[in-house]
Amino acid sequence: MDIRGLIKDRLGENYELHDRYVNRAFVKVLRTIGFDKVYARAEGAYLFDRDGKDYLDGLGGYGAMNIGRNHPVVKKALVDLLEMNMPNMVQMDCSLLSGLLAEALVKRSPPHLNSVFLCNSGTEAVEGAIKFARCATGREKFLYCDRAFHGLTTGSLALNGSKAFREGFGALLHGHSVALDDFDALERELSTRQYAAFIFEPVQGKGVHYPQSDMFWPKAQELCRKYGSLFIADEVQTGLGRTGRFYAFEHWALEPDIVTLAKSLSGGLVPCGAILTRRDIYDKTFSRLDRCVVHSTTFGRNNMAMVAALATLKVMDDEKIVENSDRMGRILLEGLKALASKHEFIKEVRGKGLKLAMEFAEPRSLKLRAAWKLIQAADKGLFAQMVVIPLFKDHRILTQVAGHHMDVIKMTPPLIIGQKEVDRIVNAFDATLADCYKFPGAMWDLGRNLLRASLSARKAAA
């Protein structure tokens, strides 16, 4: 297998291949917004195209690249492992590497989170947490938050706070959502004592929202204890330093009963997920000898994932990744907040660590307001898209709109970024937003073109 030759010969056919064999709708969207680039290389916080042009990765693979892309320590550990011809996935044994990873995770967690289940992805970690919570409580229902995102398989999809993701997929397991900061709804629901668990992202992925009140998560925990529901922190995106703490729940000094991890756990190179919980909860699922594999997955403890994760945790310690996320997150937040006094389109800049969002709102000046209204009437979220495109095209910074119908841009860059990257991001937002004052002008032409593309796509689908 000449993998170098294969890539060299065929790099550039990416979008054609996907249009023919994979997800055509996605190809169309990428082409429409001009994101149809061919990347040839990636390192740290940057992607490089075939001409060697750098793109600052503001998305970090949806938060899977906390230690940066292709980290040499993780790469070396994987190559070393392959050269050792270790036995892998024997299944009817207990492998050393999965034991070591479980130990490493427990060491970095509060003492009550002393038992680990290893799997392959975020949604799989959530599915496992659902089963653990049902088994431990004997209850079936789940309480989650408006706008929540916990994955897209049918269990986690049932806990999704956006209708758009559920449309077309039929009946799902029984969940109910509450709005952030709605203390009354929270108590009203939990007091029914029907919920196996309350599941939450300490800082939400869709829109980067978290409660206004610092008491909301602690209260949720207290009510869960009072009414017998488990308290599940989904740290798939927020964990491993993303918000400037190893776990985001540390911001509120919480003690969740179950924690889910994935994404950056294995350095962005091999899929890996984990559930951490208390021994008594774990043992309710694996309660008898004949139930010892009642929850299991074939690749769950595979050597490649275990080694990548062990190496990633070592890099996090050695390079003080959590500390850098906290420090650079504060500097970036400050820099973007300073733009709010300058640009009337900015409603709010928020976030924790390097999970940040800029939300837009109607401008004050009459001329701009009319243009804004036109765009809004057609599609809420289009203005944010109008900003995302030049950030990419003119400044080579990859970002995304934070969710369906949201005028919010979200950033989850690798946690290794420094002042140079922060300056590049802040200056790019400044310049791009400055262009929005030119009406008519290139930015609003772009809005009109996006609008046309979205209308013709809707017509074609009808």
Ligand X SMILES: Cc1ncc(COP(=O)(O)O)c(C=O)c1O
What's the CA gap between 234 and 150, in Å, rounded?
Answer: 7
Rounded to 5 degrees, what angle do the CA atoms 99, 125, 82 make?
A: 45
When the beta carbons of 232 and 368 are compared against ligand X, the nearer one is 232
**In angstroms, what is the minimal distance from the CB of 158 to ligand X?**
13
When the beta carbons of 352 and 395 are compared against ligand X, the nearer one is 352
Q: Which residue has the tokens 């203390």?
A: 183
Size of the site for ligand X (CB under 6 A): 14
What's the CA gap between 154 and 166, in Å, rounded?
Answer: 9
Stretch that binds ligand X, among 149-157, 162-170, 312-320, 360-368 (CB under 6 A): 149-157
**In angstroms, what is the minimal distance from the CB of 63 to ligand X?**
7
Binders of ligand X in range 416-445 (CB under 6 A): none
Rounded alpha-carbon distances, angstroms, from residue 435 to 101, 338, 432, 445: 49, 17, 5, 12
Rounded alpha-carbon distances, angstroms, from residue 439 to 127, 443, 447: 49, 8, 11
Asked whether position 149 contacts ligand X by CB under 6 A, the answer is yes
**In angstroms, what is the minimal distance from the CB of 130 to ligand X?**
12
When the beta carbons of 263 and 278 are compared against ligand X, the nearer one is 263
Residue nearest to ligand X (CB): 122
**In angstroms, what is the minimal distance from the CB of 300 to ligand X?**
14
Contact indicator for 117, 295 with CB cutoff of 8 Å? yes
When the beta carbons of 149 and 246 are compared against ligand X, the nearer one is 149
Binders of ligand X in range 224-283 (CB under 6 A): 234, 236-237, 262
Q: Which of 205, 244, 351, 381 binds ligand X (CB under 6 A)?
A: 205
Phi, psi (degrees; rounded to nearest 5) at 4: -65, -45
**In angstroms, what is the minimal distance from the CB of 124 to ligand X?**
7
Contact indicator for 403, 207 with CB cutoff of 8 Å? yes
Q: Which of 57, 127, 189, 201 binds ligand X (CB under 6 A)?
A: 201
When the beta carbons of 98 and 237 are compared against ligand X, the nearer one is 237
| The pair of three-digit structure tokens given for residue 328, joined into one six-digit string | 């650079």
**In angstroms, what is the minimal distance from the CB of 65 to ligand X?**
13
Asked whether position 150 contacts ligand X by CB under 6 A, the answer is yes
With a CB cutoff of 8 Å and minimum separation 6, the contacts of 34 are: 389, 392, 393
Rounded to 5 degrees, what angle do the CA atoms 36, 236, 246 make?
A: 115
Asked whether position 127 contacts ligand X by CB under 6 A, the answer is no
Q: Which of 60, 128, 151, 268 binds ligand X (CB under 6 A)?
A: 151
Q: Which of 98, 123, 137, 303 binds ligand X (CB under 6 A)?
A: 123
When the beta carbons of 210 and 345 are compared against ligand X, the nearer one is 210
**In angstroms, what is the minimal distance from the CB of 346 to ligand X?**
25
When the beta carbons of 236 and 306 are compared against ligand X, the nearer one is 236
**In angstroms, what is the minimal distance from the CB of 235 to ligand X?**
7
Q: Which DSSP string corresponds to 175-206?
A: EEEE-TT-HHHHHHHHTTS-EEEEEE-SS-SS
Q: Round the CA-based radius of gyration of the chain to a whole number and report it.
A: 23
Burial class (CB in 10 A: 0-12, 13-18, 19+), 462: exposed
Contact indicator for 120, 273 with CB cutoff of 8 Å? yes
Contact residues for ligand X (CB under 6 A)? 62, 121-123, 126, 149-151, 201, 205, 234, 236-237, 262
